[in-house]
Structure 1
Amino acid sequence: MDKNQFTGLFLIMLIMVGSFFLLKPSAEEVKKEQLRQHNDSLRRASITRASNAKPTANAAAAPTVDSAVLKGPFGGAISGTEQLITLENKDVRLKVSTHGGRIYSVELKNYKTFDKKPLILFDGPQNHFGIKLNAGGKSFNTDELYFTPTTPQPANGALTMRLNYSPTQYIDYVYNVGAEGFKVGFDVKPVGMDGVISSKELTLNWASSLHKLEKDIHMERQYSTVYYHDVDGNVDYLSEGKDDSKAIGSDAKKLNWVSFKQHFFSSVLISKNGYKRSNLAVSTDVVSSDIKQMKADLAISPDASGAYPFEFYFGPNQFSVLKAQGNDLEKQINLGWGPLKYINRFAVIPVFNFLRQFNWGYGLIILVLTILLKLVLFPLTYKSYLSMAKMRVLKPEMDEIKGKVGEDNPTLLQQEYMKLYRQAGVNPLGGCLPLLLQMPIVIAFFRFFPSLFELRGQSFLWMHDLSTYDALVTFAPLPLVGWNHISLMCLLMTISTLIITYFNNQTSGATGQMKYIGYISPLIFFGVLNSYPAGLNYYYFLANMITFLQQIFIRQLVDDKKIHAQIQDNKKKPEAKKKKGGFSAKLEEMMRQQQAQQSQQPKKK
C-alpha cells in the first residue's frame, strides 16, 4: 500500500466516524420514533377489533378508529379529503362538505342574479359554521374537523354527517329538506359524548361572506345587515351603513333567530331552544366583490334529549313568503320607523297584494295603487289648493300693507299680516298642513318600494328591472357624488316635480325667495333618488301627474271672485265672532311681545 492509498483510506474512515457522531439521533428523537411505532401497533390492533366487532345501529358501516389511541381527541378526524354532497328539493340546492360537516353553498333554484347567473347565496372557504367544544383537555372547532356521511347519498331528503370520536361516541349533524320550500331542518346530536365534552352549553360560530346578487352593489349593501329576533317578539338589526357589532347576553333576553339579511334574500338560523348569549358583527370589505361579511357567535344549550335543534331558512325576502314561515321572519323587512311601518304593513301591503290577484303587470299595479291613494287623499289636496287660492286673493292687500309698513320692521310687518289673516278668516298655514299630513304616506312609500321583492326582475316600458335604477346614460363615476349614470325615470320625476312647483307658485302667488325655494327641493331629490329603484321614481312621477290633473279639476271648481267676496264678508264680522286658532293666537302674541321689546330698545344715533 503506497502513501496515496493509505491517505485515501484514512480520510474515508475519518468521514464515516464523523458522520456516525454528527448524524446520531438525539434522545428526544429516539423517544418520538419509539412512540410512533407503538401507536402504529395500537392502531392496527384497534382496526382489527373494529373489523371483528358486530356493527350496531348507531355505528358507521366502515371501521372506525378510536381517536383516543391516535393523536388524542378526534384524532381520526383531524385530517381528511373534502367531499361535497348535494341535498336538494324543488326550491333549494345545498352542497354539504365533509370538512366541518357544514353547508358549503346554497343555491336558490328558481331565481337568478341580475345578470342571469345561478343565484348562490354563499360558497367557498371564507364561510364558516362550527361548534367550539373542549374534549380531553383540548379546544376544538367542528368547522376544522372531517365528518363522514352515514350513507353514500341522501335518502328521502335527509343527510347525516358524523364526526367520529370512537365507534360508540360521535356527533351527528342531521339535515332534512322537504319536497319543496326554503326551510332546512338541522339537528346536532351528540351520542355517548357526556364524559368527553366538558360542557353542554356550547358556542356556535357562524360567519358568511355574501355574494353580490343585484345590479347596484351600493344599494344592496345599504339594505343588508344582521337582523335578530328575541323571545319577546322584538326585531332589531345592526347598522346598515357602517361596520357594526353588538353583544347580547342574558338568560332572560334570549334570541330566537339570527339572520344574515341581504337586500332581497336571507340566510336565517332559527334555534328552537334560543340563544342565551350572542356576539353579532357586520363589516364591509371594499376590496371584496362580496357585499358584506357577517358573523354570529351564539351560545347554545341542548333540549331534554341532549340534542341541539335548529332550522335554516334560505330564501327570498318576500313579505308573504317570510310570514308563512312563522317566527316573525317578515319583520326583518324594513318598512320604516314609527307609524310608517304600520302604514306599509296594514294599508299598503294588503292593497298591493289585492291588486296582484288580477295578474296585471307591475307597472299597471303601481298606477292603480297611486290612483287609489290619490283618491283617498283628495280632500286634503282640495283643502290645500283652496288655502293657496285664498292667499293669492289676499296678495294685493298684503302688498298694500307692505308698502305702508315697509321692510325695515319685519316683526311689525308680520304682525299686520296676522291681523289681516284673522280679519279675513284665512289660515296662512292652511296650504302646508294638508301637505304635512300626506308626508308620512310619501315617506312610507320611500321605504316600501326599495324593499318590495315582487319588483325584482320585473320590466315595464323601457325599465328592465323595476327594483333598480334605469340608466339613460352611463359614465365614469363623478367625484364627490359617485354617480356613474343618470336614471331616466328619476329625470322625468324631477321634471314633473318642477312643473308642479311652477303651478303651485302661480296658485299661491308666491314671490321673492319663496318662489325659488320650491325649485331647489326637486333638484336635491334628483341627487338622492338617482340610484333608487325605477319603481319608486315611477310612483312619484305618477303621483305628480295625478296631482297636476287634480289641480286642473279643482281650479274649475274654485272661483276667485267668490273667495274674495267671502273674505270681505269675514272682515265685516265683529272681532268677537271670529275664531282665533290657538297657533295663530300664540304666534300673534309672540310677535306683539317682540315688537314691544324692540320699541323699548334705545335708538342708535
Structure 2
Amino acid sequence: MDRNTFTGLFLIMVVIGAWVFFMKPNEAELKKEREVQRIDSLKRAGVAAPLDTTKTTALASAVVADSAALKGPFGANITGTVETTVLENEKLKLTLTNKGGKILSVQVKGEQTYKGEPIVLFDGDQNKFGLDLNIGGKMVSTNDLYFTATKSAGSIRMRASYSANQFIEYVYDLKPNTSQVGFGINLNGLNQVVQGRNINLIWETTLLEQEKSAKKEQEHAAPYYKYAGKNPDHLSVAKDGKEDLKEGKVEWISFKQQFFSAALIADQGFERGELEVKVSTTPGQIKWYGANMVLPFNQLAAQSYGMTFYFGTNKFSTLQAQGHELEKQVDMGYWPLKYINRFVVLPVFKFLESFGWNYGLIILLLTIMLKVAMSPLTYKSYLSMAKMRILKPEMDEIKAKVGEDNPTLLQQEYLKLYKQVGVNPLGGCLPMLLQLPFVMAFFFFFPNLFELRGESFLWMKDLSTYDDFIKFGFTIPFIGDHLSLMCVLMTISTLIYTYFNNQISGATGQMKYIGYIMPIIFLGVLNSYPSGLNYYYFLANMLTFAQQFLIKSMVDDEKIHRTLQENKAKPAEQKKKSRFSAKLDDYMRQQQQAQIQQKKNKD
C-alpha cells in the first residue's frame, strides 16, 4: 500500500466517523422513537394508547395565545377539551366527539372481523366530517371547532355558537333497532355572516381492514354515488381516482367496502360534488375516501338540511330495505349476468336459506336445481357431440380422399355430409353457450354474497374467502402464499371432466389439449377466490359427470349410427330442410360460384 492509497483510505474513515457522530439521533429523537414503539406494543396488546398530554397542552397553549383568533369567527369554540358521547341501539354503537361535532367511530354490532374483533367502519382522526364556511373571506372548517353536546333519549345535539343567536347545530337521531342515523344541520342567523350561495360538506375517512384478504377487499371497495333518476355508479376499484359529480342533483354517496357500507342520503340532494379514492399501502387500511359535496345556501335566517346515514352490512335484502336503490352497490355482474343473479339465483338462494340449513348444503341444492333446469340443454349437447363422434370415421375418409391441401373443398365435403345425415355441427356448442351465462353469473354472485361471510362448511372456516389449507410462508408467482384445497379439488375435477368430454366429442389435435390448459390457469386465478365459489364449481363438475353417465346409459350409439345412415339414404326431397340446412345450401352455392369465378379469372 503506497502513501496515496493510505491517505485516501484514512480520509474516507474520517468522513464516515464524522458522519456517524454528527448524524446520530439526539436524546429527544430517541425518546420519541421509544414512545412510538411503546404505543405500538400497547396497540398490539389491545390496550388503548394514552394521550400525549404534553403535546396537547402545548397545542392548547398556542391556541390560547392567539388572541386574534379568539376574537374572530366562532372564537369561543376554537379551544376546548375533547369529550366523547356514545349513542347506541341494538345494531350500532356511535361514538361522537365534541371536536368537530362529528361521529368519531362506528361499530356495527353483531359482526366481527376475520380476526374476531368488533367491526369498526372508521375511527379517530382519520375520519373528518363537517362544513366549510366562507366567513368574511376566510374559510372556517367546523372540524376545528369545539361543539357543546346535549344528549337526550336517542339523540345528540352538537352546537357551535357564533354569537348568542347565531350558531351551527348538528342533530344525530338513532332510533331503536335500525342501521339508519338521522342527521340534521341547522344554521341559525348565519345569513348575516356566511358569504356565497353554497356551502361545502366535507367527508373524509380511511377504511379499516375487516376481511382475510386485504387485496380482495380492495378489489370490492369503491365510493358509490347516485344521481336523482339514474342508476348508481362508482369510481375505480383498482386505482386512485377522482370524479366531478356535476350531471345533476346527487341523491346519495356511499363509502363502500366489500361487505359493509357507510352511506349519506340527502333529503333534497346535493347540488353537485366531488368524490375521490386512494388505494392505501398502510397495513390494516384498505382505501382512503374523500367527498366534497355542495349544499345550497339561500341566505335564510334559519337554514336546515335533512340527511340520513346508513351504517351496516352489504346484505342485498338489508340494503334494499333502506330504499334509494342502495342494493345496487352489490356487484351482481354486468348485463345479462346481473339479471340472472338478481331475478333467478338470488330468489332461489333466499328460498333455500329460509329452511335454516347449512350454507354448504344450500349451495349443493342450488347447484342441483340449476343442473336439473339445464338438463335438456345438456342432453342436446351430449347427443350432438355423440353424432359428431360417430361421423368421425366418414370424415377421416373424406379427408384422406380430398387431402389437406385443399381446405375449401374439404369443408364443402364436410358440409355436404352434415346435410346428408341431418347433423348440425354447432349443435353441441349452442347448448353449452346458453349455459355459460349462468356459470359466469356465479363468478360475481358468491364473492359479493354477505350471507356466506363467516359461515363454515367441512374444513372451510369461511365460505366468503379462500381456505388456505396449505400456507407456504412465502409468495409463489401466479399461486400466492397459500394453496386452497377446494380450488385444487375443483381443478382436478375440471381436468377429469375435460378428459371425458374429449372422449365424448372425439376432439383431436390442438382442441384436445386446450381444454387441459384452462383448468391450470383457473387454479392460479381462483386460488384466492372464495371457497364457496370453488365449492360450487366442484359440485357442478361432479353433477355433470353424473348427468353424462345417466345420458350415456340412455343413448345408443348404434341406433344413432343407423338413424344417420337412414337419413343419408333418403332422397333429398324427403328430407325436412332446417334453418341450418338452408344456410348450408346458401354457403355451398356461394363457394361453388366463387370457385367458378376464380377459374374464369385464371383462364
- Give the TM-score band, short-chain normalised: 0.7 to 0.9
> Hey, what's the Cα distance between the residues in 2 that align with 1:422 and 1:81?
89
Aligned twin of 1:42:
none
> Hey, what's the Cα distance between the residues in 1 that align with 2:589 and 2:452?
53
Cα distance change, pair 584–204 in 1 and its aligned pair in 2 (3 A): farther
Aligned twin of 1:80:
80
* C-alpha displacement of 1:237: 0.9
> Hey, what's the Cα distance between the residues in 1 that align with 2:484 and 2:583?
43
Cα distance change, pair 587–99 in 1 and its aligned pair in 2 (3 A): farther
What SS does the corresponding residue of 2:520 show, helix, strand or coil?
helix
Identical aligned residues as a percent:
54
* C-alpha displacement of 1:528: 1.4
Aligned twin of 2:89:
89
Aligned twin of 1:146:
146
Q: Structure 2: give runs of 5+ residues left out of the alignment.
A: 1-66
The correspondence for 1:423, drawn from 400, 408, 420, is: 420
> Hey, what's the Cα distance between the residues in 2 that align with 1:482 and 1:166?
64
> Hey, what's the Cα distance between the residues in 1 that align with 2:550 and 2:354?
32
Which letter maps to 2:141? N
Please give the residue correspondences for 1:93-108 in structure 2 after superposition, counting only pairs within 5 Å: 93-108=93-108
Please give the residue correspondences for 1:96-245 in structure 2 after superposition, counting only pairs within 5 Å: 96-149=96-149, 151=150, 154-245=151-242
* C-alpha displacement of 1:600: 7.5
Q: Report the more deviating stretch, 77-86 or 571-580.
A: 571-580
Aligned twin of 2:41:
none
Contact 1:415 1:592 in 2 (8 A): no
Which letter maps to 1:104? L
Q: Report the more deviating stretch, 131-140 or 385-394.
A: 131-140
* C-alpha displacement of 1:241: 1.5
What SS does the corresponding residue of 1:472 show, helix, strand or coil?
strand
* C-alpha displacement of 1:547: 0.9
What SS does the corresponding residue of 1:450 show, helix, strand or coil?
helix
What SS does the corresponding residue of 1:240 show, helix, strand or coil?
coil
> Hey, what's the Cα distance between the residues in 2 that align with 1:262 and 1:597?
64
> Hey, what's the Cα distance between the residues in 1 that align with 2:340 and 2:173?
38
Residue 550 of structure 1 pairs with residue 547 of structure 2: yes
Which letter maps to 1:90? E
* C-alpha displacement of 1:199: 3.2
Q: Structure 1: give runs of 5+ residues left out of the alignment.
A: 1-66
Contact 1:171 1:191 in 2 (8 A): yes
The correspondence for 1:530, drawn from 527, 532, 555, is: 527
Residue 258 of structure 1 pairs with residue 256 of structure 2: no
Cα distance change, pair 589–130 in 1 and its aligned pair in 2 (3 A): farther
Aligned twin of 1:410:
407
The correspondence for 1:299, drawn from 278, 294, 297, is: 294
Contact 1:335 1:451 in 2 (8 A): yes
What SS does the corresponding residue of 2:563 show, helix, strand or coil?
helix
Aligned twin of 2:357:
360
* C-alpha displacement of 1:320: 0.8
* C-alpha displacement of 1:419: 1.3
> Hey, what's the Cα distance between the residues in 2 that align with 1:113 and 1:69?
44
Contact 1:207 1:295 in 2 (8 A): yes
Please give the residue correspondences for 1:333-482 in structure 2 after superposition, counting only pairs within 5 Å: 333-478=330-475, 480-481=477-478
Q: Report the more deviating stretch, 294-303 or 393-402.
A: 294-303
Aligned twin of 2:285:
290
Aligned twin of 1:5:
none
Aligned twin of 1:518:
515
What's the CA shift string for 1:452-493, capped at 9, x where partnerless?
A: 000000000000000000112112454543611111111111
> Hey, what's the Cα distance between the residues in 1 that align with 2:522 and 2:585?
35
What SS does the corresponding residue of 1:122 show, helix, strand or coil?
coil
* C-alpha displacement of 1:136: 2.7
Which letter maps to 2:577? K
* C-alpha displacement of 1:242: 1.7
Aligned twin of 1:281:
276
Residue 579 of structure 1 pairs with residue 577 of structure 2: yes
> What TM-score do the two structures reach when normalised by structure 2?
0.85
CA RMSD, Structure 1 to Structure 2 (Å): 2.1
* C-alpha displacement of 1:179: 1.2
What's the CA shift string for 1:262-295, capped at 9, x where partnerless?
A: 0000000100010111111111022453111111
> Hey, what's the Cα distance between the residues in 1 that align with 2:533 and 2:148?
50
Contact 1:68 1:74 in 2 (8 A): no
> Hey, what's the Cα distance between the residues in 2 that align with 1:293 and 1:116?
23
> What TM-score do the two structures reach when normalised by structure 1?
0.84
* C-alpha displacement of 1:408: 2.0
> Hey, what's the Cα distance between the residues in 1 that align with 2:71 and 2:589?
88
Cα distance change, pair 502–599 in 1 and its aligned pair in 2 (3 A): farther
Contact 1:210 1:293 in 2 (8 A): yes
Cα distance change, pair 551–595 in 1 and its aligned pair in 2 (3 A): farther
* C-alpha displacement of 1:86: 1.1
Cα distance change, pair 322–505 in 1 and its aligned pair in 2 (3 A): same
Residue 268 of structure 1 pairs with residue 266 of structure 2: no
> Hey, what's the Cα distance between the residues in 2 that align with 1:466 and 1:376?
25
Aligned twin of 1:31:
none
> Hey, what's the Cα distance between the residues in 2 that align with 1:307 and 1:74?
19
What SS does the corresponding residue of 1:234 show, helix, strand or coil?
coil
* C-alpha displacement of 1:574: 2.9
What SS does the corresponding residue of 1:82 show, helix, strand or coil?
coil
* C-alpha displacement of 1:559: 0.5
Contact 2:479 2:527 in 1 (8 A): no
Cα distance change, pair 602–547 in 1 and its aligned pair in 2 (3 A): same
Which letter maps to 1:388? M
> Hey, what's the Cα distance between the residues in 1 that align with 2:433 and 2:109?
45
What SS does the corresponding residue of 2:195 show, helix, strand or coil?
coil
State how many pairs are aligned. 532
> Hey, what's the Cα distance between the residues in 2 that align with 1:307 and 1:199?
16
